[in-house]
Structure 1
């Protein structure tokens, strides 16, 4: 093979042919690489758009479920305290409490059962459901606030996933650092406004004033 190449290069009439081969080969390789890169970029763009669209729908659906559950719990506790036994034995009660159960179930099906943020949100939602059925408006307001605060963390985490997937591997270290910071901030949140110990006060013999004070402490910056 080497002898053949040596002969080709020594023959002036064939040097141009060799150069043409190399030029054409390089051009062909360039076209192939360009086409491969274009295909990869195009497929990634389609994937990112699809994932972003689905995650956006999921985020909006979760917001709706949280706000609807909050409103449903407020309705149940308000009517229960206003109408007492008449409401508790009515079809209206059955319909309203069934709706709360449906919304809690919707949360269960939407959230990841392996993520701490999701599990804590579900605990708050279930406590809100119980408070609306059994306890006072002060208890409902406290459980509702805890639920909403935890929902904010779940929604924020989902948006971070969207941005990380869109950024690609080149930004992996930056997003790993951001995840670490978010976990640290979430752990601090659990020790303060997001403490689930506040939920334990509901149904534990605390007065409405004590529950209201627990709720108001969450507004202190």
Structure 2
């Protein structure tokens, strides 16, 4: 049963035409749906699936492209995909899971042998899981709100701004020290002490030109 698992990291939408598995796969899983741009990717993959099969009027619910977040516990996308996978298997293999077909059956472990081996009792699996599929698309449980996704970048940017301001202040202090030392060398009588300002009466106003 051909199944293709992909993510939204395929590049531009035009690159989907080069993915041959979209032609052969009967089920397409778009994993890591919590990534940015995954919703646009889901729309584009479904559109490409319809185009490959000339099924433009097929609604989204019937297109076998399922978004999932496999790393998330009890992900509704994985549940919805699994339920539809079982449905497609039943449609593809009539009688699947019945005793006559020989498929979907297993030997029940024998308690008398510590669970090892079997007593030949067939356990029937009808490939019809009773799961809640009310939610069909995953919703990522994020620790950081969407508005604060770039908080680390904001911290780094703020740090760079502070460092730049400190460098400018250090340059100004170094220049002031150099000028004070120059005035000290030429013997300026009005020169104040270091880190002190000139007296207002000692300053000559600059005449406008």
TM norm structure 2? 0.28
Greater helix percent: which structure? 1
Give TM-score, length-normalised by structure 1: 0.26
- Quick check: which has more Rg, 1 or 2? 2
If each structure's strand is expressed as a fraction of its own residues, which one has the higher value? 2
Q: Whose relative contact order is higher, 1 or 2, with alpha carbons under 8 Å and at least 6 apart?
A: 1
